[in-house]
């Protein structure tokens, strides 16, 4: 038995997420009580529009919660300054970046902003962190490329590299493999897992890659209309929870193939 006391890095208490417009609250998910230990690789799964991005944006304070509390390293995130928060959590989005002339090095250097002075001068330590991030994500050869010259897969690695340069305990990524081919999807999951195992980073990823999530994550977060279920992938397969992701007459979860399949596949 593992006697080591787990370090809880992220916790929510009765967290309600959603949108507020003209005093009207639209609840996307309610009473979320999430606990995540340091060094875990957690994958957030759920159908389109269920609220994955809403949750990740709320956890990183990009959007306001409706109610409840979020704790990082036992500190309520409301009590953290933007700089303190940026030193604890980084967020990787897949949205296109605005046009600019920045090189890959300069883009990754932006990850050091929470540590640099107001002019943004890089110290020797900042440069080491940037070079180390380039190395860890295997993109040293892209250092001097302009970021608009990058393919989607390369850009994805650059953005993960920037999150690494930000040197946070927690890295949160919203659908990081959305536009990637199968090889680059696998490479990205492998890289994220490596960051958790080798560097002790806590990684939270929203994804539609159920098979890859089962293979690589320590923990799955299953978001459905009625439930938010967390647990070890094998456990969630065995107790039938994963099946609840899609309540449909068309698909079912095949626990041997570990993927969703058509219920009555038409014979060719
Ligand atoms: N700015 C907004 N104002 C109001 N409702 C919004 C806003 N952004 C998203 N929503 C709604 O919140 C719900 C959850 O959206 P969200 O983008 O979080 O889902 P998701 O699980 O990330 O979806 P996908 O897998 O398609 O990316 C959807 O019904 C969406 O229409």
**pLDDT digit string (tens) for 133-189?**
999 988 999 999 998 898 888 888 899 999 999 999 999 999 999 888 899 899 999
Q: Does residue 64 carry a pLDDT above 90?
A: yes
- The pLDDT value given to residue 12: 98
- The pLDDT value given to residue 1: 43
Across the chain, mean pLDDT equals 91
Ligand 1 midpoint to CA 242 (Å): 21
Confidence of residue 248 (pLDDT cuts 50, 70, 90): confident
Query: Global pTM?
Result: 0.92
Domains of the chain, start order: 1-88+169-236 (3.40.50.300), 95-167 (no CATH)
Q: Give the neighbor-by-neighbor strand order of the sheet with 228-231.
A: 89-92, 170-174, 202-206, 41-45, 219-223, 228-231
- The pLDDT value given to residue 153: 84
Condensed to tens digits (0 to 9), the pLDDT of residues 113-122 reads 888 876 678 8
Mutate to test the pocket of ligand 1, among 20, 26, 51, 224 (most ligand atoms within 8 A of CB): 51
Choose among 62, 61, 114, 111: nearest CA to 87. 114
250 vs 100, more confident: 250
Question: Distance between CA 172 and CA 7 in Å, rounded?
Answer: 18
Condensed to tens digits (0 to 9), the pLDDT of residues 16-51 reads 999 998 889 999 999 999 999 999 999 999 999 999
Mutate to test the pocket of ligand 1, among 43, 53, 173 (most ligand atoms within 8 A of CB): 53
Ligand 1 midpoint to CA 50 (Å): 7
Ligand 1 midpoint to CA 267 (Å): 36
Residues with CB under 6 A from ligand 1: 19, 28, 46, 48-54
Q: How many CA atoms lie within 13 A of 37 on its CB side?
A: 11
- The pLDDT value given to residue 268: 56
Ligand 1 midpoint to CA 146 (Å): 32
Adjacent-strand bridge partners of 12: 70
For ligand 1, atom 27, name the residue with the nearest CA: 48
């Amino acid at each position: 038995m593992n006697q080591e006391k787990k370090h809880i890095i992220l916790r929510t208490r009765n967290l309600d997420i959603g949108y507020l417009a003209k005093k009207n609250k639209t609840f996307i998910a309610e009473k979320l009580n999430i606990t995540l230990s340091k060094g875990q690789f957690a994958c957030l799964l759920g159908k389109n529009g269920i609220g994955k991005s809403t949750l990740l944006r709320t956890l990183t304070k990009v959007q306001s919660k409706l109610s409840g509390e979020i704790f990082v390293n036992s500190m309520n995130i409301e009590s953290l300054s933007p700089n303190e928060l940026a030193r604890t959590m980084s967020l990787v989005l897949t949205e296109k970046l605005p046009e600019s002339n920045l090189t890959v090095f300069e883009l990754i250097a932006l990850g050091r902003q929470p540590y640099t002075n107001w002019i943004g001068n890089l110290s020797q330590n900042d440069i080491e962190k940037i070079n180390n991030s380039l190395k860890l994500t295997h993109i040293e050869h892209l250092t001097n490329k302009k970021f608009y010259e990058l393919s989607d897969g390369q850009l994805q690695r650059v953005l993960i590299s920037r999150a690494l340069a930000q040197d946070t305990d927690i890295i949160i990524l919203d659908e990081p493999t959305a536009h990637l081919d199968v090889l680059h999807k696998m490479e990205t999951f492998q890289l994220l897992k490596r960051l958790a195992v080798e560097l002790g980073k806590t990684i939270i990823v929203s994804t539609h890659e159920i098979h890859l999530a089962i293979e690589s994550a320590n923990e799955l977060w299953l978001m459905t209309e009625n439930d938010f279920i967390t647990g070890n992938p094998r456990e969630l397969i065995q107790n039938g929870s994963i099946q609840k992701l899609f309540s449909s007459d068309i698909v079912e979860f095949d626990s041997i193939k570990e993927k969703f399949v058509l219920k009555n596949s038409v014979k060719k």
